[in-house]
Structure formats: structure tokens, C-alpha cells
Chain A
Amino acid sequence: MTNAILLDEKDNVATCTSKAAAGYTIKILGGGEIICVEDIPIWHKVALKKISCGEKIFKYGEIIGEASKDIAAGGWVSDKNIFSVPRDYASEMI
């Protein structure tokens, strides 16, 4: 029974497919397991390693935001500790 899904090997978060209480070992489809350090609701993200303030968050192998504070390995990654970075559209033109 897995409790989280890793979508891309570049990702530093996985999506929980059941709620996880602090101290619980989350088994991750796509790679290993991690001990949860706080309560995480179903469908929310768990940090797979320590993420420092200012570090990028990867899901689907793409950047989904930047950490606004330090997040511990096994911590809950949410709109409270990550934010969307403005786009650089000019650089995307071909």
C-alpha cells in the first residue's frame, strides 16, 4: 500500500494519496519512503528532503513555486510555505 505518488524523478515533493499523521512512514510510489514530521491532509504534498527558503519546488519535473520558508524533510508543502514566481515570457519566445 503506497501513501504518496512521485510524479518525476526531478521532484522534491510527492503527493499524498491518504492523510498522514506526524511520525507516520509514507511509502512513495516511484521512490522510497519518508517519515512525516507533521500532519498532512490527503492530496497535499510532502517534502522529500529539506527544502531551504528560496529553493525551487519541483512537481511533474517542473517548477511549481519557491519556498518562502525552510521546510523540513517530511514536512507539509502548501500555499502557506511556497509561492508562484513571476514568469519570464520574453525568454520563452522562439
Chain B
Amino acid sequence: MNFYGYKRAEGRAGIRNHVLILPTCACGSETARIVASQVRGAVNIIFNTGCSDVQANTDLSQKILTGFACNPNVFGVVIIGLGCETVPHAKLRDKIKSMTTKPVISFGIQEEGGTLKTIEKAVRAARDLAAEAALQQKELCDISELLMGIECGGSDATSGIASNPAVGNLSDKLIDLGASTLMSESIEWIGGEHVLAKRAATPELHNRIIKICADYEAHLKAAGQDCRAGQPTPGNKFGGLSTIDEKSLGCIKKGGTRPIVEVLNQAERPTKRGAIVMDTAGYDISSVTSMVAAGCNAIIFTTGRGTPTGNAIVPVLKVTANAQTFSWMEDNIDVDLSGIIAGDLTISNAGDLLLKKIHDVCNGRLTKAEAYGFSDIAVDHVCRFV
């Protein structure tokens, strides 16, 4: 299977060709938003961290920022810094340039003399990058260039019974075609981790999956917290999911059945091809953020209760098997899989349908969240701001 995408000098092909306006810290976010709004072809993210952090938080936020810049859907980057943040713009720019040959330009608001002067220079830089990006022609790419992130959010009982198994079937089909998939949300392995671990290709990976869950619980306990207080969410419970175990056993079905060949730390880039899992929060926006930083070029997202979420860099294709949710929130959800519950659609047929839908997205079809320009991100934190 092939698609028309944007070949990159290093790594996978892009299915989009964005100019990314990237703030180094929260203080650069508004300026980045204004710059992106002036240039067709540019996208921005709102970044809530980057300053007053302990080292572990800085390490994670830097992995997210550099990962966003290196994402295959990004043609080039304009960085907007402030000047007194933990990692200033020039340092972030040099780090990104050591990881990719993409064009990267950076400005600092304090250096330039305020936001308006920064906006003027950054808009010119972004305009020139966007003009260049528009000249790049799409080329035929093998489906092995696809790294699809798999996410669920606003789950209800239909997710584990229907939409997650359908996405699991899609994942198996993609892997058999040579593509790779990435499933995250390790908090939502708890209660089903012994089932997920059976898919591990080696005993080491098996034990790593179990240890991630044990460490996650120990981490929260050290802060006097319990994951069972926040999971399942009130909406999950209203939708028929009573315990984290019940939610997890449904969640992990979206990863399919193929052997897990690699287990990643949060926002880490994969080195293997096939079915991959990553240690992230179950908070969907944060999990998608980390998968985009890891280099996913498309995301498939199941929901039961309905969600509008989207990501600026990577298209998010949303699916539900809850007929009422699809009809009530059809402007936010791309694919209706309620036929599975009605008995009109088998899981395998649903997997075929999703393969066609995700193939269309790879070829350029806009998802609903993408057409609206939605840009949700949330950067996970190891501990409090300082």
C-alpha cells in the first residue's frame, strides 16, 4: 500500500507540510499564535511550561519541543523565545539543528524589543518558509512510512466492546502491511497489564510493561495519591465503566494482537518497526502530545462520550461505536462504527473501513478537528513547578 506524502531528508515521510511556530515557554505562546495567524501554512502550539521547572520536567518539555520540530509533518520551524526561560531560543534551535536538517529560525522577545518587533521578523521568516514549503511536491511513499498513534478518550462501555477492537484490527492490518503503530496511556494498562504483557516479543519487554505500571502507582503513592481516585473519570463511570481495571481491559484492545517489539519512555522516538507501546498518562491530550513528539504522523482516536480534540501538527481521526454520540456530535467525530454494536458490521470489516479512512488521511484528507484548526497540547509533569 502507498500514499502521497512529503519525503524528508531523515526519518519517515510527512503526511502534512506545516511550518511550525514553536514557543520555547509559556511566555512565547501568544506571540507564536499571532505569527501563525498571519501566515497560511503555519501552525502554532500553546506551551504551558518551559520555565521554573526541576530538571526532570525540563528534560521532558525539551523532548516534547524537539520532538515536535522533528515530527515528519513539519517542513520547517520558527522558534519564539522570551530570553530568561530555562532553555533559550538559540540553544533550543541548535539542539533541533543537531537532530534534523530542516530549516529552523529563532527569535527572542526580550532581544528584539517586545512582541510587535518579534512578530514582524517572525512573520517574515514564517512567510518565506511557507512559500518554500508550498513548492515541495508530494511523492509516492510506502505505507511503512506511517507511524500511527493510537489513542482513546472520553471512553464508555462501547469503546472496549467495539471501537477499540476495531482499531486493534486496523493496527494488525497496518503492521502486516509494513507500517508501525504506537499505543500509550500506561495508567490505562493497570488491571489489564498482564494481558498486554502477553503480547511482548521478549521476556524483558514483558517485565518492562509490568514494571511501568508498578512504578506509576509507586510514583503517585509517593505523592500521597492514588490513580484509582481519578480513574475512571466521572464521564467513564456515567458511561458504564466502573473500575480502572474494566477501563484498561477495554483500552488495551485498541493496540491489536501483534507482538510488541519496543517499549518507549514518554516522548521517546522509536528505533524499531511494528507494534510499539509508550509509557504516558491516560490524559488523552497529554498522551497525544507525547506520541506526536515521538514522531507519529497520524493519530486514530476512539471515543464513547465524544470529544472535539485535535492536534496542530498531526491529524487526529476520531471514531465512535456509540450511535447516539455520533449523531449528537457528528461535527466532531469522523467515523461511525455503531454498526458493530447493531450487529451490521464485523470487527474485521470495521478494520477495513478504518484502513481506508486512515489511508485517505495520509493522502491529505482533512479530519474534522484538523479542518477546524484545533490545537490541543498538554505536557506531562514529573512534579510541581518551582
Q: Which of B158, B191, B243, B244 has the most CB of A within 10 A?
A: B243
Question: How far is A16 from B206 in the complex, measured between Cα atoms in Å?
Answer: 34
Q: Which residues of A contact B161 (CB under 8 A)?
A: 5, 7, 15
Question: How far is A92 from B210 in the complex, measured between Cα atoms in Å?
Answer: 7
Given the contacts A7-B161, A44-B157, A92 and B194 also touching, CB distance less than 8 Å: yes
Q: Which of B157, B197, B246 has the most CB of A within 10 A?
A: B246
B224-243, CB < 8 A from A: 228, 232, 237, 239-240, 242-243
**From A40, which residue of chain B is reached at the shortest CB distance?**
B240
Which listed residue, B157, B192, B210, B242, touches A93 by the CB 8 Å rule? B210
Which listed residue, B158, B192, B210, B322, touches A89 by the CB 8 Å rule? B210
| Stretch of A20-28, A31-39, A47-55, A58-66 at the chain-chain interface | A58-66
What are 21 inter-chain pairs, A to B, with CB distance below 8 A? A5-B341, A41-B240, A43-B156, A43-B239, A44-B157, A44-B240, A60-B250, A62-B191, A62-B245, A64-B191, A64-B246, A64-B249, A65-B242, A65-B246, A77-B242, A87-B213, A87-B214, A92-B193, A92-B197, A93-B210, A93-B211
Which listed residue, B193, B232, B242, B341, touches A87 by the CB 8 Å rule? B193
**From A66, which residue of chain B is reached at the shortest CB distance?**
B243
Q: Bits for B154-190, please: 1 = Cβ < 8 Å to A, else 0.
A: 0011101100000000000000000000000000001
Determine chain B's interface SS by DSSP, over half rule.
helix
Q: Are B242 and A45 in contact (CB under 8 A)?
A: yes
Given the contacts A7-B161, A79-B232, A84 and B244 also touching, CB distance less than 8 Å: yes
Q: Which of A16, A64, A65 has the most CB of B within 10 A?
A: A64
B residues engaging A (CB < 8 A)?
156-158, 160-161, 190-195, 197, 203, 206-207, 210-211, 213-214, 217, 228, 232, 237, 239-240, 242-246, 249-250, 304, 322, 341
**From B305, which residue of chain A is reached at the shortest CB distance?**
A43
Question: How far is A85 from B242 in the complex, measured between Cα atoms in Å?
Answer: 12
Q: Which residues of A contact B322 (CB under 8 A)?
A: 43
Q: Are B191 and A87 in contact (CB under 8 A)?
A: yes
Q: Which residues of B contact A92 (CB under 8 A)?
A: 193-194, 197, 210
**From B244, which residue of chain A is reached at the shortest CB distance?**
A84
Smallest beta-carbon distance A42→chain B, Å = 8
Across the A-B interface, how many residue pairs have beta carbons closer than 8 Å? Answer: 82
Q: Are B211 and A89 in contact (CB under 8 A)?
A: yes
Q: Are B237 and A84 in contact (CB under 8 A)?
A: no
Apart from A64-B245, A65-B242, A87-B190, what 10 extra A-B contacts exist at CB < 8 Å? A5-B341, A43-B157, A60-B250, A64-B246, A78-B237, A84-B245, A87-B193, A87-B213, A89-B193, A89-B211
Which listed residue, B158, B192, B243, B249, touches A43 by the CB 8 Å rule? B158
Question: How far is A43 from B162 in the complex, measured between Cα atoms in Å?
Answer: 12
Q: Are A64 and B243 in contact (CB under 8 A)?
A: yes
Question: How far is A45 from B228 in the complex, measured between Cα atoms in Å?
Answer: 20
Given the contacts A89-B214, A92-B210, A64 and B242 also touching, CB distance less than 8 Å: yes
Question: How far is A17 from B321 in the complex, measured between Cα atoms in Å?
Answer: 12
**From B234, which residue of chain A is reached at the shortest CB distance?**
A79
**From A83, which residue of chain B is reached at the shortest CB distance?**
B243
**From B158, which residue of chain A is reached at the shortest CB distance?**
A43
Q: Are B206 and A94 in contact (CB under 8 A)?
A: yes
Q: Which residues of B contact A45 (CB under 8 A)?
A: 157, 240, 242
Smallest beta-carbon distance A87→chain B, Å = 7
Q: Which residues of A contact B246 (CB under 8 A)?
A: 59, 64-65
**From B162, which residue of chain A is reached at the shortest CB distance?**
A5
Q: Which residues of B contact A16 (CB under 8 A)?
A: 240
Question: How far is A59 from B217 in the complex, measured between Cα atoms in Å?
Answer: 23
Question: How far is A7 from B207 in the complex, measured between Cα atoms in Å?
Answer: 28
Q: Which residues of B contact A94 (CB under 8 A)?
A: 203, 206-207
Which listed residue, B191, B193, B197, B304, touches A84 by the CB 8 Å rule? B191
Q: Which residues of B contact A63 (CB under 8 A)?
A: 191, 245
